[in-house]
Amino acid sequence: MELLLLLLAGSLIFPLAAPAREITNACTSQANVFQHVNGTGMHLTLHHPQSPCSPAPLPSALPFSAVIVHDEARIARLASRLAKTPSSRPTSLRKSTGGAHLRDSQAPADNEGLFGRSAGLIGLARNKLSLLYQLAPSLGDSFSYCLPTSASPGYLSIGSYTPAEYSYTPMVSSSLDASLYFVSLASMSVAGSPLAVSPSEYGSLATIIDSGTVITRLPTAVYTALSKALGAAMGGAPRAPAYSILDTCFKGQVSKLRVPAVDMAFAGGATLKLAPGNVLIDVDESTTCLAFAATDSTAIIGNTQQQTFSVVYDVAQSRIGFAAGGCS
C-alpha cells in the first residue's frame, strides 16, 4: 500500500512536505491537534486539497473524468501486480486536466501520479522497503489514518493507538501479494436489510483495502444487488445517466438527497456504517453516483468509503480496525 500524499478524488496533502504559506490561527490549532513526534509514534496532520487550511491548496476540484482515468489506471496496475504480469504501456493525462503522467508502478522512479503538486508517496506496505517496516523497531508495527474532508483535517500516525476505540477484522493471508492488505467482506445492507445475494458471493474474489483507489470495486453479483437495493431505497429520487464506470446515478448532489444507511460488515465483526458521502459521490454540479463499481478480478475497498473513519493497520497483531468519527 502507498498512502498518496495527495488524495481524494485521489488526494491528501502532507503539510510538512508542502510549500510554506501563511495560515490562520484556527488552522494552526487544527494542525496541533495531531501533529507531533514523541516516544509513542509519529503523528501528522492531513488536509483535504480544497481545505482553507491546506498548505498547498488546489484552486478548484479536479474534473471527475480525470479522477476516473486515474482510478482505472491504478486498478489496471493492481490487477497486473496481482496477476504477476507486466502492466500495459504508460497512460498519459494532459496537463490541462490538472494531472500529470501515470506510469507503471513497477518503475519506482515514476511516483508523480495524477497530481503534479504531490511531493511523493509514503510506502506503508508489508515489505522491507516500506517506511512502516523501517520505523517498526522504534515506533511499533502499526499505523492509522483518517482521510479528511474539506471541512475537517485528518491524520496519519505511525506507532501507538488506542485499541479500545476500534472494531477489528483479521488481515487475510494471500499468496497473490504478501505486501498488500487483504480482508474478508462478509455482508452488506441497505436501510437495515441485507442485500439479496448469496453470502458466498462476498468471498468469491480476494478483497484488499487500499487508500489510493477512489471507487470501491465489488464482486459483480454483490454490486448488482447493492445498486438495485439503493435505487429502491432512494424512492423518488430522479435518476441520471451513467457516468463512465458509475452506472447508478441520480440528479442532484449528495448533500441534497435522502440517502439510506449502507453498512459494510467484515469478518470478525468490524463494520463500516457509511454516511451519505461515503455512499454517493458528486461527479458534477448536477449529478451524484453510487461510489462503487463491479469487478470480476480483485475486490477493493477504496478511499471514498474510508473517508472520515479512523482506520488502523495493526501488522503485529494481523488485524485492521475501524472507528467512526476519526477526523473529528
Which domains does the chain carry?
2-163 (no CATH), 165-323 (2.40.70.10)
Better-predicted residue by pLDDT, 322 or 48: 322
Task: Report how far apart, in Å, the C-alpha atoms of 289 and of each of 242, 244, 256, 303 are.
Answer: 8, 10, 13, 15
The widest CA-to-CA distance across the chain, in whole angstroms, is 56
Q: Is the pLDDT of residue 254 over 90?
A: yes
Q: Which residue has the higher pLDDT, 19 or 57?
A: 57
Cell numbers representing residue 186 in the block: 462478509
pLDDT at 15 exceeding the cut of 90 = no
User: Residue 98 pLDDT more than 60?
Assistant: no
pLDDT of 59 above 80: no
| Cell, residue 130 | 516500506
* Rounded CA separation 65/72 (Å): 11
**Mean per-residue pLDDT over the chain, rounded:** 80
Q: At 148, is the pLDDT very low, low, confident or very high (cuts 50, 70, 90)?
A: confident
pTM of the predicted model, to two decimals?
A: 0.81
Q: What's residue 17's pLDDT?
A: 34
Sign of the torsion formed by the C-alpha atoms of 131, 135, 140 and 144: negative
Give the pLDDT confidence score for residue 85 in this predicted structure. Answer: 63
Greater confidence, 174 or 22? Answer: 174
pLDDT for residue 9: 31
Q: What value does the mean pLDDT take over residues 105-132? A: 61
